[in-house]
Amino acid sequence: MPGLAGVIWIVVVIGAAVLVHRYVVFPTVVRSESMRPSLEPGDVLLAGRVRSRTRLRRGEILVYRDAQTSERRIRRMIGLPGDRVQIADDGVVSVNGDAVFEPYARRSGGFRGSFRVPADRFFVLSDQRGGPHDTRTWRESFVPVGEVVGVARVRLLPWPIVATGVLAR
């Protein structure tokens, strides 16, 4: 019977891992250079599942499904539903009239714009502003609330784990 106890233990562990992955956290891989220097291509992140979209905060790194390609994307949340986001010629971002402190952003000038975030959307930007991955240049600059699947919490790889402080807001 010791063999049966071992099998039961393995089944319990696998079941717990599946439940944790499905409902609590999941790994995701950074696939583009859009979040440099905060995150590098190939970095593995542990993302917390989003239960309540009302708890999401500006500055958090979101993991969401791209509505057009169904791929997972990773971008920084800048605007919440109802916010007015303005980007000045020098790349400085303001939300509801207040300049946003963004030590992680690599700004590029020349683009300016004003965005009113719809009630069921988030406004996200890459940390590498001005490149082809920047959502400012997309036809649709907003992420539907229902497409957000997680918030990046911990960088697992590359090893050793580096505490960068950029995953928190």
Contact, 61 vs 35, CB < 8 A? yes
Residue 2: predicted pLDDT = 64
Range of the domain at 141: 2-157
Domain with residue 6: its CATH number is 2.10.109.10
In this structure, is residue 32 part of a structural domain?
Answer: yes
In this structure, is residue 115 part of a structural domain?
Answer: yes
Q: Tell me how far apart the alpha carbons of residues 24 and 57 are, in angstroms, rounded to a whole number.
A: 18
Residue 106: predicted pLDDT = 82
Question: What are the tens digits of pLDDT across the range 6-48?
Answer: 888 888 888 888 887 777 789 899 988 888 888 988 899 989 8
Q: Where are the alpha helices (DSSP H) in 59-99?
A: none
In this structure, is residue 162 part of a structural domain?
Answer: no
In this structure, is residue 163 part of a structural domain?
Answer: no
What is the domain count for the chain? 1
Contact, 125 vs 75, CB < 8 A? yes
In this structure, is residue 165 part of a structural domain?
Answer: no
Mean pLDDT of 95-118: 86
Residue 104: predicted pLDDT = 86
Q: Tell me how far apart the alpha carbons of residues 77 and 124 are, in angstroms, rounded to a whole number.
A: 4
Residue 168: predicted pLDDT = 45
In this structure, is residue 63 part of a structural domain?
Answer: yes
In this structure, is residue 26 part of a structural domain?
Answer: yes
Q: Tell me how far apart the alpha carbons of residues 73 and 66 are, in angstroms, rounded to a whole number.
A: 6
In this structure, is residue 168 part of a structural domain?
Answer: no
3-state secondary structure of 123: strand
Report for 82-96, 106-120, 151-165: range of highest mean pLDDT = 82-96
Statement: residue 122 has pLDDT above 80: yes
Question: What are the tens digits of pLDDT across the range 55-66?
Answer: 889 999 999 998
Mean pLDDT of 75-103: 92
* Position 138 confidence tier, pLDDT thresholds 50, 70, 90: low
* Position 81 confidence tier, pLDDT thresholds 50, 70, 90: very high
